[in-house]
Structure 1
Amino acid sequence: MTTQASKDTGTDTGTGVLPSQEIAGMVRDGLITADPEITADQIQPASLDLRLGTVAYRVRASFLTGAGATVAERLHEFEMHRIDLMDGAVLEKGAVYVVPLMEGLALPEGIQAVANAKSSTGRLDLLTRAITDGGVEFDRIAPGYHGPLYAEICPRSFSVLVRPGMRLNQIRFRRGQAVLSDAELSARHADQRLVDGPAVIDHGLGFSVDLKPREGDLVGFRAKPHTGVIDLDKIGHYDPAEYWEPIHTREGRIILDPGAFYILVSREAVHIPPDCAAEMAPYLAMVGEFRVHYAGFFDPGFGHDAAGGKGSRGVLEVRCHEAPFVLEHGQVVGRLVYERMAAVPDTLYGAGIKSNYQGQGLKLSKHFRVG
């Protein structure tokens, strides 16, 4: 499967984000290792879901391994106690855990990797980052890395029940330089409409917050401070009212409370063409007293076949910092960095692979009942 766009942008050269079929090839070739074996449904259009192992280490603080050291060595320094996950265990709000993952890597020199939290993980304010032996950055894995993978997990709003095999984060692989320049983004938008309104392009595609919905006055949700545990295996199970406070406004603005976590939605409907992927970039702290959580990747096909036309709105996970902050309708709060695919994936994001958030608007994670 190819497109004219893929030919025009050179994705047939093999440079870019690796698609599902090449990830499957890496598994077959032993470049991605796992115990137990990787299952077919772990492979997404442009990423691989990573699974929790059988034990969690409660640690005194978050850490980076550092050059020349292993995670196992650092755990010896920082471990408080270890927790068997086999029968399920609660990871408590505010604590920091390190969990060995079932997957490992044997990357060749020409391929680097980047990890990120899955969408549902981010919507629960569940800070999840990948760490590696010798790592000097979270979620970034250098070409040629051979070794195990670990997840650092810090539940920030809700305590969660986890079990081995759960998938809280995912990993993407790229060969060479994949990021589209602003000129390339502008040309893409002119040809394929990357958003349903004016495109604000500056080191990526800017997006803003929607605080004036077309219907009603519900603009978001704020996490309640004292709630029960969320079992991550339970889908469509929990009453949102027990965990979230709805945010209403008719003024086009809200005041963010320090330390609070919010679910909001972008004003723009975003479109990721089949030969592209995207990542939500960290928001510049100098522009406001808040942070838009960059929870996940946007797969090829996101918003490509949404009901009613192209585009799906992006859900924003927002945490306020030290001072109250007024957030206004239409305020630019982040940007999407688009990357070219090395090839169009065999499968795209959408109903065909049971994607949870295609065609979404304002939406909580899949664990909560709708309506």
Structure 2
Amino acid sequence: MTDAHAAGILPCQTIESLIAQEAITSQTPFDRDQVQPASLDLRLGVRCWRVRASFLPGVSRRVPDRLKDVAMHELDLSKGAVLEKGCVYIAEIQERLALPANVAARGNPKSSTGRVDVFVRLLSDHSKAFDDIEAGYEGPLYIEIAPQTFSVLVRAGTRLNQLRLKLGDPVKLAIRSVGVDLTPGETGIVGFRGRRHAGVVDLDHEDGHDPRDFWEPLETRHGELLLDPGEFYILASKDDVEIPVMEAAEMTPIDPSVGEFRVHYAGFFDPGFGTEEAGAVGSKGVLEVRSHETPFLLEDGQTVARLVYEPLTERPARLYGEGGSHYQRQGLKLSKHFKAWR
């Protein structure tokens, strides 16, 4: 990899090349489907700690140095463990980085993680910020996990977040507003609100949970929805989302001055999402929304987030959804852990 390449997001074939060069290694063999069109899924390791506070190590310390100050007890994820809502955990990631000097990285929750209201952030040694990994970083990775609405069952190998790698400093190609859809469809449902006293969500069990045990359907007749403080909502974007094959995008929250709410989790969109070329015209963006201290009346079409588009260094060898996906061609949709709403 040389400076002659244009700046941009690295596609799957380049990520696989970095793995082959051992710039990305793992404690266990990589899974066949771990590399996405423009991102790499990260997997939990065996060790996890319940901590009394979130933290950043700072430039002079490693994550284990700070863990000594805040760890309450250690969990063994080899047999699985329940992470309780309202608690904060730090877990080891199986993957380790030895990045080239001109390659940086950024972590983000996977779509399925955000849709069950599990707040996760990537940590690295000597870091001054969550999720951002400096170019040339060499060392281990960790993840902060904070379930908000549901307690969750995880294991070593569970994938909660993903890594996007960047060559140089890519330009932002476009920034597009994302509005919310509060127009009832055939079902009359415009969204879902998480139930506060539900059971445990097994994050490795797809289509294995009855959604009615965890979610309350929401209806509206006037194109408005009152967001209650502290509640968690699943809504859909007003317009379809399309990510061209030579671009990737990240969904970012809007300025809080626009309203007392926010899209709770930023999200990566891989190249080909919602495109005709990938056979998926008509894919919505799913929004995880939380109100702040005061109730807020949300209106149909109101801007709730923005999509920031960046270029890829080259066309990816495969597009989003080509090998199968839970979220290509999606409308309003809960995470893959739940059976279809009927």
Q: TM-score, normalised by structure 2?
A: 0.96
Q: How do 1:11-22 residues align onto structure 2 when only pairs under 5 Å count? A: 13-22=5-14
2: distance between equivalents of 1:129 and 1:162? 16
Taking the aligned partners of 1:225 and 1:358, their CA distance within structure 2 comes to 29
Task: Please give the per-residue CA displacement for 1:9-38, whole angstroms capped at 9, x wherever unaligned.
Answer: xxx944200000000000011111111122
Write the distance in 2 (CA, Å) between the matches of 1:221 and 1:292. Answer: 14
Equivalent residue, structure 2, for 1:262: 233
The farther-off stretch of 300-309 and 78-87 is 300-309
Q: Which of 242, 258, 282 is the aligned partner of 2:253? A: 282
Structure 2 Cα separation of the partners of residues 58 and 294 of structure 1: 22
1:302 matched to 2:273? The reply is yes
Identify the residue that residue 167 of structure 2 maps to in structure 1. Answer: 175
Distance in 2 (alpha carbons) for counterparts of 1:340 and 1:306: 17
Partner AA of 2:334 in structure 1: L
Q: Does 1:239 align with 2:231?
A: no
Check the 8 A contact 1:221/1:246 in 2, yes or no: yes
Distance in 2, Cα, partners of 1:369 & 1:24: 33
Question: Which of 104, 107, 114 in structure 1 is aligned with 2:99?
Answer: 107
Distance 1:100 1:308, change over 3 A: closer
Q: Which residue of 2 aligns with 1:317?
A: 288
What is the CA–CA distance in structure 2 between the aligned matches of 1:354 and 1:208, rounded to whole Å? 27
Q: Deviations over 1:48-71 (max 9, x none)?
A: 000000011000011111111100
Matched, 1:357 2:327: yes
Give the AA of the match of 1:345: P
Within-5 A mapping of 1:1-371: 13-181=5-173, 185=174, 204-305=175-276, 310-350=281-321, 352-370=322-340, 371=342
Following the alignment from structure 2 to structure 1, what is the Cα–Cα distance between the partners of residues 278 and 31?
30
Overall identity of the aligned pairs, in %: 54
Unaligned runs of 5+ in 1: 1-11, 186-203
Question: How has the CA–CA distance of structure 1 residues 309 and 150 changed in structure 2, closer, same or farther, with 3 Å as cutoff?
Answer: closer
Deviation at 1:308, TM superposition (A): 8.6
Q: Which residue of 2 aligns with 1:5?
A: none
Determine the C-alpha separation between the residues in 2 that align with 1:167 and 1:37: 14
Tell me which amino acid in the other structure corresponds to 2:316. Answer: P
TM-aligned CA deviation for residue 256 of structure 1: 0.3
Q: Which has the higher strand share?
A: 2
Displacement after TM superposition at 1:153 (Å) = 0.2
Decide which structure has greater helix share: 1
Distance 1:140 1:242 in 2: 36
- The 3 A distance-change label for structure 1 pair 109 and 180 is same
Return the alpha-carbon distance in structure 2 between the equivalents of residues 87 and 28 of structure 1.
30
- In structure 2, how many angstroms separate the alpha carbons of the residues matched to 1:263 and 1:214? 15
* 8 Å contact from structure 2 (residues 278, 319) kept in 1: no
**CA distance in structure 1 between the partners assigned to 2:31 and 2:292 by the alignment:** 40
Q: Please state whether the residue corresponding to 2:319 is helix, strand or coil.
A: coil
> In structure 1, what is the Cα distance between the partners aligned to 2:129 and 2:169?
19
Separation in structure 2 between the aligned mates of residue 172 and residue 113 of structure 1, nearest angstrom: 6
Q: Which runs of 5+ in 2 are unaligned?
A: none
The residue number in structure 2 matching 1:3 is none
DSSP-derived class of the 2:36 partner? coil
28 and 306 in structure 1: CA distance in 2 versus 1, 3 angstrom threshold = closer
Residue 325 of structure 2 aligns with an amino acid whose one-letter code is S
For residue 153 of structure 1, give the secondary structure of its aligned residue in structure 2: strand
Aligned residue-pair number: 338
TM-score by length of 1: 0.88
